[in-house]
Amino acid sequence: MTETLPDIMPAHVPEGRSSPRRRIAAQGISKVYQTPTGPKQVLSGIDFSIGPGQKLAVLGRNGAGKSTLVKIIGGVERPTGGRIVRGMSMSWPLAFGGGFEAAMTGYDNIRFIARVYDQPFKDMIERVDDFAELGQNLLLPVKYYSSGMRARLAFALTLAIDFDCYLIDEVIAVGDQRFHQRCHDALFRDRAGAAMILVSHDIGIIREYCDTALVLKGGYGRTFTDLELAISIYATL
Amino acid sequence: MPIRFPRLRKKARVINALLIRELMARFGHHNIGFMWQIIEPLMLTLGVMISWSFIYGDRNHGVRVIPLVLTGYTFLTLWRHMIARLTHTFRHGSGLLFHRDVRPADILVARGLLESIGTLISFFVAYIPLSLLDVIEPVDDYLVLLGAWTLMAFFSFGVALVITALAHFSDAFERIVQPIMYLILPLTGVFYMVYWLPPAAQSIVNWSPLVNASEMFRAGYFGSGLPTTWNAAYVLLCAIAVNAVGWVLALKAQQHIELE
């Protein structure tokens, strides 16, 4: 384990008292993959740090290492060098449906997440159902769900737990127009106080909500507090 | 009794969640659900019981065939299923790993527990009616029987860990697991009693922890009426050794998991 701070801290800590420990930080993250054509350096010395309520955009062209960075921040893969400090509770990548068990019903998938994150079943099921609007479909195995239904369930599951920081990987474009709008409201209006790490190509959303940007190029990254500068650099990449 | 260590409690919570998930995923809510975990090995055992009864009649080398098969095949199922179910863990379970508290090791432990307990229940599901009907004699010593089961589960889990980790590092190794499993069947000791063998063969098979465990299991079942050779301490030692190697390899493999 590279973390020195506990993974999960109490979700409801009074706001406005940001101790230096309440941060999510990457310190000198590097990642090398062993491939058949030799080692491939995907990330080199990535640094950033965000506190409660801060919103960080991650910008970069395809292949710049964004997805790898998400996996490392999310704790699925270990960095080859450096470490991630998690002083706040952080969600799994928003709307990530890869953890669904297709043979299990929607309800059982919700119960599984509730068990893992130690949440009361009833509360969790109500919150998910309220947002995903799947109704009776929750009784069906997930394999019968359309991709839109899956996305709704996945989105609702992430939002049913109060995290201090949400990890968002290019998903604002799920579902139909109406759902799209509700996701948008749920994230940026109702959870305006939560910290976010947002990987997106949608400059509009980034410009509107983020206060810092990490621009990735060829595995190297630089953090900008001047968002317009970051966006203009991203545009020239 | 409440567990006080927060990390341990978190592990217990995650493993419990995975156990239930594994059951749900494999058997679902419908029809007989978890009973399949028990019925699968049961069908094999009953089928072999019938065919062996035709081949050998009532007794084989003076030992009653039906309990011989019952003790042998449930044991063999534990060994085979433990290894088969664990081998692909690192590949199939990978989507779960975005939930940070779920580590591959937890998935391995959950599956290992499920196999050990499920197969043991299947033994008793076959045993209880057969003994009530007086087809087989009752268990002689439960302590020895369950001790042997626990040691066997522990040992199999260790071997499964080693295989799982090595299969993760090498595709070639994964392909040779099946033939190896088949070829070492004689060293599992489920098809014979050691005392049937010539002394030279006995001295070889006695090195196999699997033979030791299966002899112990049968000693628990048949009692002192049947000559058995086993050494529980030896099995325990082997189990600790393979688990130690297995955990080191599995933790190493765990760091090399790469998602699509």
pLDDT for the residue A75: 83
CB-facing half-sphere around the CA of B21: CA atoms within 13 A:
26
- Which residues from B are below 8 Å from A113, CB to CB? 99
> Length of chain B, please?
260
Chain B interface includes A113 (CB < 8 A): yes
- Which residues from B are below 8 Å from A103, CB to CB? 24-26, 28
In terms of Cα–Cα distance, which of B240, B245, B244 is closest to B151? B240
Please tell me which residue of chain B has the smallest CA distance to A102: B25
For residue B47, name the pLDDT band (cuts at 50, 70, 90): confident
Identify which of A119-133, A172-186, B145-159 has the greatest average pLDDT. Answer: B145-159
- Which residues from A are below 8 Å from B97, CB to CB? 75-76
Chain A interface includes B11 (CB < 8 A): no
pLDDT for the residue B173: 87
Phi, psi of B102 (to 5 degrees): -90, 110
Q: Do A104 and B24 touch (CB under 8 A)?
A: yes
Phi, psi of B116 (to 5 degrees): -60, -45
Q: Do A115 and B99 touch (CB under 8 A)?
A: no
Q: Are A43 and A79 in contact (CB under 8 A)?
A: yes
Q: What is the mean pLDDT of chain A?
A: 83
How many pairs of residues across A and B have Cβ atoms under 8 Å apart?
A: 68
Chain A interface includes B100 (CB < 8 A): yes
CB count within 10 Å of CB A144 equals 11
Across A92-97, average pLDDT: 75
pLDDT for the residue A15: 44
Confidence check on the interface: ipTM exceeds 0.95, yes or no: no
**Which of A76, A100, A103 is facing B259, going by the closest CB pair?**
A76
Convert the pLDDT of each residue in A127-138 to its tens digit: 999 888 888 998
Q: Do B98 and A103 touch (CB under 8 A)?
A: no
Domains held by chain B: number: 1
Cα distance between residue A79 and residue A28, in whole Å: 10
Convert the pLDDT of each residue in B74-102 to its tens digit: 889 899 989 988 888 877 656 788 888 88
pLDDT for the residue B57: 78
Chain A interface includes B95 (CB < 8 A): yes
Name the residue range of residue B113's domain. 4-256
- Enumerate domains of chain A plus CATH numbers: 106-197 (3.40.50.300)
Across B221-250, average pLDDT: 92
Convert the pLDDT of each residue in A26-68 to its tens digit: 999 999 988 888 888 889 989 999 999 899 999 988 878 888 8
The structure's pTM equals 0.82
